[in-house]
Amino acid sequence: MKDTLKSFGKILSISLLIAVLIIGVLFSLQNQVLVTVDLLLFSPIEGTLAFWILASFALGVLISLLVLSLLYLRIQKRNIQLTLKVRSLQRQLDNNQTTK
């Protein structure tokens, strides 16, 4: 049963990846209009509309992953601190119970 669920999960993941790739290709084929983007620090850059939209999406995903990674590390650090505190308190409790 567990192996069946793992294979189903892999098949579902692969199917989702293929669907996203197909949608991305169709999106880029439909948006071939050249646009000029004037960034503040750079001279105007020309590229297709699909490129700029997909680049913006990718940049957003990368920034989100960075922020979530930092939050995850912060939570892990707090978890380790609390675990150490619990162990310390457990030792103190054990010491108090053995001395009585």
pLDDT per residue as tens digits for the range 39-82: 788 888 899 998 888 889 899 999 999 999 999 999 999 999 99
CA distances from 27 to 15, 34, 45, 80, 93 (A): 18, 14, 21, 45, 63
Task: Kindly report the average pLDDT of the chain as a whole number.
Answer: 90
Percent of the chain's residues with pLDDT above 90: 53
Q: Which helix (H) or strand (E) holds 63?
A: helix 49-99
pTM score:
0.65
Q: What is the pLDDT of residue 2?
A: 73
Q: What is the pLDDT of residue 100?
A: 67
pLDDT range class, residue 96, cuts 50, 70, 90: confident
Distance CA 85, CA 87 (A): 5
Overall average pLDDT of the 13-42 stretch:
88
